[in-house]
Structure formats: C-alpha cells, structure tokens
Amino acid sequence: MKNNISFSVEDLRSRISEDRDFMVGAKRPVIRNKHFAVSQILEFLLHGMSIEDILKTYPVLEHEDVLAALYHAWQKSDEWDPVPAAS
C-alpha cells in the first residue's frame, strides 16, 4: 500500500506542543490539541503496534501525528550527548 502523504518538517514541528497541564505537573511534549503525549506514541510503537494499528485504535490521531512524535524523539535524541566532552 502506497501512502500519498506529503508533509514538511515545519508541519511535523507544529504538531507538537509542550503542555504543563497534561498528566498534571511536568511540562511534556504532546500532540497538539489531541491529548496524546509523544511518549505514549513511542510506547505504542515499542510494543509492536504499527502506525496503521495506532490510527485504527485511536482515530483522532493522524499519520502525520505519529511521524511528528518520531521526529520529536529523533530531535531530542540528537541533542543528548552521553559522553562528556574531553577537557
């Protein structure tokens, strides 16, 4: 099955917002206006759900929302440097 989905990096970025009120307390990245944390989307994928499974189970989500969660996680992982710089 071929997806005819087009999106831009800016579209993916715009789908993620920081929400302090989601799950009370700490600021968490969420899918904008959908009440799904990026970490929830990643957990669904980790446990073997395909993007299609996620979209069928949670019809409020769009394909680009899942891609936005993956893009956000990739951006954050690229910022993390586990090895301290040599001095």
Each domain of the chain, given as residue ranges in start order, spans: 9-75
pLDDT at 50: 98
Specify burial of residue 22 (Cβ count, 10 A radius: 0-12, 13-18, 19+).
middle
List the structure tokens of 78: 């690229």
Specify burial of residue 69 (Cβ count, 10 A radius: 0-12, 13-18, 19+).
buried
**What tens digit of pLDDT does each residue of 8-51 get?**
888 899 999 887 666 666 678 999 888 899 999 999 999 999 99
User: How would residue 85 be classed by pLDDT, with cut points 50, 70 and 90?
Assistant: low
The pTM assigned to this predicted structure is 0.77
Question: Looking at domain 9-75, which of 1.20.1250.20, 3.40.50.10490, 1.10.10.10, 3.40.50.800 is its CATH number?
Answer: 1.10.10.10
pLDDT at 38: 94
pLDDT of residue 79 exceeding 50? yes
d(CA 65, CA 72): 10
For residue 31, the cross-strand partners are: 16, 36
